Structure 1
Amino acid sequence: MTRLTQHLIVISFDCLSALDLPKLEQLPNFQELFDKAAVCKQVKTIYPSVTYPCHTSIVTGNYPNRHGVVTNTMLQPNRESPDWYWQRHHIKGTTLYDEAKKAGMTTAAFLWPVTAKAKIDYHMPEIFANRPWHNQIAVSFMNGSKLYQLKLNRMFGHLRRGTAQPELDDFVTESTVYTIMNKKPNLMLIHLVDLDTQRHRYGFSSKEASDAIERHDARLGKILLALKESGMYEHSTIVALGDHSSLDHTKVIKMNVYLKESGLIILNNKGKVKEWKAICKSNDGSAYIYLKDPEDVQTKARLSALLYSLVANEDNGIEFVLTGEDAGGLGADSKAAFMLEARQGFYFTEHLDGESIDVISTKDVEEGKYTYASHGYSPEKESYSTVFIATGKGIKPNVEVQSMSLVDEGPTFARLLGVDLGDTDGRVIEEMLDN
């Protein structure tokens, strides 16, 4: 297969929305990217539209039910902070970086989700210190390129403040620039999270979110300058993309409270789960309901009656209920007994205490209990698309693709690199490629 580019640089701006395009078009470095670019202003995300499934779909070309990363975090009922799907081994099948490596290319990834322990040459994985005895830097080292990360931390560690934003993205940007200048990788995957953090914390259209977009423009400028100064620019394809949008909300649906009140969850005297027959796994804008025993027909029938009764009243915040089979048909986890979608203005949590519906207060957000905006919703939600901007080698200039899906990105990237992801759910967007 013919290779169309020597270097593919993919920058994921987490939570970048199609609604952000008017602002992006006014910013100097995004303006430079748009010049002669191929653009899709209506990219359909996947279901559930949360970060780890989304980024896995981007590099595999498959929906979550095929690549296996069906949500962000694991089902661990009594953990206040469940573990995430950090490691590469959670992904079924191959990935873009696997195939690039097999073809003899140099690879790099910075905070790209679900890459811990992956075979990537210059690698800083996204993984958190999720136990009291863990150290953040040590956890990162053990799951990525040890010596290279040590070097980056020695040079740029003064910029970061743990995993706090916007400092973490500033650290990642300087690490990216250094890697471009000194390693010139053939494939580079960069994940920047500042915008997503600000939208969760302050709301979709907040000043803080707007400021994050401007910081992203400055970060993009540094990366573009590094590509030029390194001599890579003329031989590179540069892609800026989002993984999902987000929606503001004012109310929280606590499905586990409903399940507890129905006797399907039993707590001990410390408020922890002692036994459960059914439990909610939140994706924020959507939620899975799992059965402890998938063959428990009686509990499934009770659960079905409860869920459909809740949907009947709009005040409960549930827009629709899917069976596990129907969820699988949309690319989500068919192993769930049911999947629920929140109405606009609502989102799901896994809390076991308090009322089943809670109104979000400023105090709750400041304490980190709730957020002001979330994602995870159905890709069919109104004004919920993301974006794709590509320019450089192998890209036809000034092309607008009317619509595409997140799963089309991986096959298109593979075509640019001259590698093959095999049979995928997505397609190569041939109309933007200069063959």
Structure 2
Amino acid sequence: MDKKSNKMLVISLDALGAEDVPVFTRLPNFRRILSGGSHCFNVSSVYPSLTYPAHTSIVTGCYPKRHGVINNTRIQFKRLSPDWMWQRKYIKTTTLYDEILRRGRTVAAFLWPVTARSRITWNVPEIFANRPWNNQIFTSLYNGSAAFQAVLQKNFGHIRNGRSQPELDDFVIECVKYTLAKKRPDLTLVHLTDVDTQRHLHGTLSGEATSAICRHDRRLGEILDTLETNRLLDQTNIIVLGDHYQKDTFTAIYINYWFLQKGWITVKGGRLSQWQVYCKNCDGSAYVYIRKGFGYLKDAVREVLLDLAGDGDGGIEQVIEGKDAAALGADPHCSFMLEARDGFYFLDGFRSPSRQVDDMNVRDGDEPMRATHGYLPGKPGYQTVFMAKGPDIANKAEILSMCLVDEGPTLARLLGVTLPDADGRVIRQLIRTVPQISVKEKKEI
């Protein structure tokens, strides 16, 4: 990387979408980013449009089938709470932060997905204790920068209330402000989930979601003020982006219920013990896997799924063949992929064909959500956003459309590095000055 390259701060506002433009463009600190900066209010996510695949696509420029993070959670059918793809080891390609570190520069990350056990200089990973013998503090320390996290916990731990919002994002912002002032990283990655949490709990257009956007405006202001106070504002390219939007829901559907009726799943002691065919949820979409050695069931499985899709009340909008799902960027190893109708989403359970959200209870192992994501990115009203301002950012450029995979190559170009395996393109209209790099970008406009 060119030694004169400016710093970069990437702030991901999980579940902020183009539908929020009328709200956040009126807020003072969002306006500070938009004034003199550039933006795109028509950004397509990746498929499935989930947080972990999306954030990995942002820093790799690759679709999930390429970078390997094809879902939020792993296939662990015997566990009520499967592990998430927390660790860097699940990413099969290089990342933006790997390329910065390779050049001897520094990186800080705060709850950025799929960074646990990475080489990031100052890392507070997004991970939670998922075993009864573990606790949250030990799990975080082990998977991130232990000494650094200990200092943050000592100074700001009183703000946090477990994983509850808005306290979690308020804790993160204090950690970011401290790190920007004391450590001055070359690249800082920040993941804030307040809006996403409120939408899951209360719905996309709820007052709680709007209040979370307003809290984000205050948080942005605190970060901008910190940069200005420490004379970093003029040398920092600030990126504010979303990863996906959400859609309102009222019913969860359980495809594994039908597989159980067919004898393709075996249950013992109330838990799944064996499977030949299994449905793994991605919230608004779902993978269907046929176990190796049982490929002869594929036609029968297709027939069951198409019958369910033909039932208007069944919740399935589309049955996608595995090869077509791969063409959309999803897991190439699935046999089928299912897309939910508006108002529906998938869960992994098998005790009933469906349940109304209002009748669900977390204690039963279900996750009642009044809005969620994971759907096909091209659906109307489901786009996200990208905003940028800084010394290398073009003045008032408006990009009509882009994809999440375009963000990684564009950010890499701003930092003077390259992502050689990226599927996306460099959005040159966003860039005012282009640092020299040794390897020519394969795709750019």
- Say yes or no: TM over 0.5: yes
Deviation of 1:364 (Å) = 3.6
- TM-score after normalising by structure 1: 0.97
Give the partner amino acid of 1:380.
G
Checking the alignment, whether the CA contact within 8 Å between 2:161 and 2:168 is kept in structure 1 is: yes
Task: Say if 1:61 and 1:251 are closer, same or farther in 2 by CA, change over 3 A.
Answer: same
Deviations 1:391-435 (A, max 9, x none): 012111111000000000000010011001103100010011012
For 2:3 and 2:401, locate their aligned partners in 1 and report how far apart those are by CA, in whole Å: 25
Q: How many Å separate the matches in 1 of 2:37 and 2:4?
A: 16
RMSD between superposed Cα atoms in Å: 1.4
* Equivalent residue for 1:359, pick from 356, 360, 368: 356
Q: Deviations over 1:244-270 (max 9, x none)?
A: 0000011111111111112111211x2
Structure 1 segment 285-434 matched on structure 2, within 5 A:
285-293=284-292, 295-354=293-352, 356-361=353-358, 364=361, 369-434=367-432
C-alpha contact 1:5 1:393 (8 A) present in aligned 2: no
Query: Which residue of the partner structure matches residue 152 of structure 1?
Result: 152
How far did 1:5 drift?
A: 4.1
Q: How many residues align?
A: 432
**Hey, what does 1:68 align to over in structure 2?**
68
Give the aligned partner of residue 53 of structure 1: 53
Report if the CA contact (8 A) 1:3-1:418 is conserved.
Answer: no
CA distance in 1, matches of 2:56, 2:361: 31
Asked if the contact 2:93/2:421 (under 8 Å) is kept, the reply is: no
Aligned to 1:177: 177
Q: Distance in 1 between matches of 2:256 and 2:309?
A: 16
Cα distance between partner residues in 2 of 1:371 and 1:2: 46
Per-residue deviation, 1:369:
3.4
Describe the SS at the equivalent of 1:394: coil
Q: Is the 8 A contact 2:124 2:145 kept in 1?
A: yes
Distance 1:379 1:3 in 2: 38
Unaligned residue ranges in structure 1 (runs of 5+): none
Q: Distance in 2 between matches of 1:400 and 1:366?
A: 47
Output the CA distance in 2 between the equivalents of 1:56 and 1:73. Answer: 14
Distance 1:53 1:174 in 2: 27
SS in 1 for 2:313: helix
Take 1:369 and 1:400, find their aligned partners in 2: how far apart are those partners?
A: 38
Corresponding residue of 2:232 = 232
What is the TM-score when the length of structure 2 is the normalising length?
0.95
1:283 corresponding residue in structure 2: 282
CA contact (8 A) 1:4 1:393 kept: no
Seen in structure 2, the aligned counterparts of structure 1 residues 363 and 343 have a Cα distance that, compared at 3 Å, is: closer
- Which amino acid counterpart does residue 283 of structure 1 have in structure 2? C
Distance 1:4 1:365, change over 3 A: farther
* 8 Å Cα contact 1:4/1:417 also seen in 2: no
Q: What is the rounded CA distance, in whole Å, between the counterparts of 1:65 and 1:388 in structure 2?
A: 23
- Specify the alignment match of 2:94 in structure 1: 94
Tell me, in whole angstroms, the C-alpha distance in 2 between the residues paired with 1:412 and 1:212: 28
Corresponding position of 1:220: 220
Q: Counterpart of 1:8?
A: 8
Displacement over 6 Å in runs of 4+: 365-368
Letter in 2 for 1:414: A
Q: Secondary structure at the match of 1:399?
A: coil
CA distance in 2, matches of 1:400, 1:4: 27
Which residue does the alignment assign to 1:251? 251
Give the conservation status (yes or no) of the 8 Å contact 1:101–1:107: yes
* 1:20-57 deviations in Å (ceiling 9; x for gaps): 01110111110111101110000000000000000000
Deviations 1:74-123 (A, max 9, x none): 01112111000000010001000000011121110000000001111111
CA contact 1:5–1:237 (8 Å) conserved in 2: no
> Secondary structure of 1:218's partner?
helix
**Runs (5+) with no aligned partner, structure 2:** 434-445
Letter aligned with residue 252 of structure 2: V
Q: CA deviation at 1:3?
A: 7.3
